[in-house]
Structures are given as C-alpha cells and as structure tokens.
Amino acid sequence: MASKKGIAITAAIVAGIVGASFLVWFVPQSSPGNFDTPITDADIASEVYSRHLDLAASVDSEYSSWRNGTLGTDDMLGRLDSAGLETQELLRKIQREPAPEWKQSYNLYGEALDVFAEYLREIELVVERGDTGPQQEIDSLKIEWQDFVEQSVQDIPIAR
C-alpha cells in the first residue's frame, strides 16, 4: 500500500502539471498582443508616434542638461547612440506595407524619422565639438521633423 507521503507528493505533482497546463493555455489567450490578435496599421502608427515623441522629449531634455553642464559629454553621446538605434527600430516598424489608405501617412512618418536621425547626428556633432551655444541647424532639423509628423497625423485615415 502507498504511504501518505507518497500520495501527497504524487497529488502535488499532478496539481502542478494541471496548473501549468492551464497557465500555458490561459495566459496566451488573455494576454494583449498575442498572436491571435492582428496588429492594425493604426496600432503600429500609434506605437511609433508615442515612442518617437517620448524619445524626442527625452533627447531634448538631456541635450538641455548637457548644454547647462549637468550632464557629461560621454553620457550624452551614449544617449544619442541609443536614441539612434531606437530611431532605426521605429523606422523599420513604419516601413512596412500598410493598407493603401495608410500609405501616405506612413511615408510621411518615415520622412519624419529620417530627419529625426539627421537631427540626432547633428546634436552628436555639436556635443563632440563641445559647442553649447545656439545651434540653428539643430533648430531647423527639429522644425522639419515636427512638420513631417504633423503632416503624417493629418493624413491618418479617419473611420467613416
């Protein structure tokens, strides 16, 4: 006859297997972004837009900190490097083939990200030179990428 300890261990193992099987089935079913949920052009545009604007605000803040001497040059250059990589990732996301009604908006946002990458490179050159003064080229590039973003947003198809 089996001991009480053996039965308890067996019951615990069975409960663990059943619980793990339930989790493997339930978690993917209830998780947002699972493979069963198609990602729409609107979802991609929204993600790229919000991540890009967060990135731009962060870079602008850190650039201001560098200019006023509260952020070191190496830290700023490191941040610009990671911002450049994130910009490339966003560009890859937006360079997919969207539905025809989204094509113009996606193309304009791709232009915005291209100019934003130039903007980051220009900031990098200024930081490497150690020039904390006003920078017309940086200001012009910022206005240019922001204009592309605005045009892209205006070209988003509206559900009718």
Burial of 114 (C-beta count, 10 Å sphere; 0-12/13-18/19+): middle
Burial of 107 (C-beta count, 10 Å sphere; 0-12/13-18/19+): middle
Q: How confident is the model at residue 30 (pLDDT cuts 50, 70, 90)?
A: very low
Structure tokens at 119: 């903007």
Query: Model's pTM, two decimal places?
Result: 0.75
Q: Is 47 left (phi over 0), alpha (psi -120 to 50) or beta?
A: alpha
3-state secondary structure of 31: coil
Residue 83 has pLDDT above 60, yes or no: yes
The greatest distance separating any two alpha carbons of the chain, rounded to the nearest whole angstrom, comes to 87
Q: How confident is the model at residue 93 (pLDDT cuts 50, 70, 90)?
A: very high
Phi–psi pair at 98, nearest 5 degrees: -80, 175
Which tens digits make up the pLDDT trace of 5-23?
A: 666 666 666 555 655 555 5
